[in-house]
Amino acid sequence: MTLEQDFDKHIREQHRIAKESTGYKAPYYWKMINERGALQAAHDLLVGKMKIHDGLTELVLHGRLDLSLEASVIKPQWRPLFSPLEIETAKTRLKQLNFPLVDAMENLASQEIHHEQPQRRSYETNAIMRDQYLPKKVKEMYEYKCQVCGFRLESGDYWYAEAAHIRPLGSPHNGTDIIENLLCLCPNHHKLFDIGGFFIEDNYEIPQLKTSLNVDAMHNLDIEAIRYHRNWCKHS
């Protein structure tokens, strides 16, 4: 097995343990793993140091941050799969949540680097290269307000929203990483959109929610991506 395959197996087992021990099924996270693979799901979730997602909140409430994706990412055996920025992002999130093992993991990694000569193995990974600027651009276009409900999460001077791809990236959807394929959504509507809880008509109406999508005049949404997502919702 490759390192990527080992990581995929590890993350699936961590999810199983978390579901059994906390009762939290993390449906969006599980969907990402099944559609994109655990490694690509991890890359996608490790965007933005301040992004404390629902899964982390649930694990904090149950005292099981050790089962989080971030806790796996900082372990020495999985670090070759991630960039220094992604590892730093995982560490920052865990430190914000007072995860006590971050420093221990760092010490272990330091010992392995400076005191041991481990056997080396080469692996290949295949990751989608995403434009890290686009999520910030689409969120700023709407001032971090959800295009569905108009709500913006705020904590002091910090605003939070999520950039959602209309047609998902990667196989089997093969969407494009362009701003025309992105929406600015609150976490709830992002998750609902991704699991097919609602779709968007060509005129931007959302029949399931009895509302319509707010679209800025400068935001030329990809109508084919909207149709693809709508068709996927109706047939999935």
pLDDT digit string, tens, across residues 41-62: 898 888 765 556 667 777 877 7
Q: What pLDDT, on the 0 to 100 scale, is given for residue 103?
A: 57
Would you say 71 and 28 are in contact if contact means Cβ atoms under 8 Å apart?
Answer: no
131-157 mean pLDDT: 88
**Average per-residue pLDDT in the chain?**
83
Residues pairing with 164 in the sheet: 183
pLDDT for residue 134: 86
pLDDT in tens, 59-107: 877 778 888 898 899 888 999 999 988 888 888 888 877 776 655 555 5
Which of 142-146, 157-161, 213-217 is predicted least confidently?
Answer: 157-161
Query: Residue 113 has what pLDDT?
Result: 42
- Which pLDDT value is given to residue 114? 45
Q: Which amino acid is at 183?
A: L
Banded model confidence at residue 199, pLDDT cuts 50, 70, 90 = very high
Highest mean pLDDT among 19-23, 38-42, 170-174, 201-205: 201-205
What average pLDDT does range 160-179 have in this prediction?
A: 89
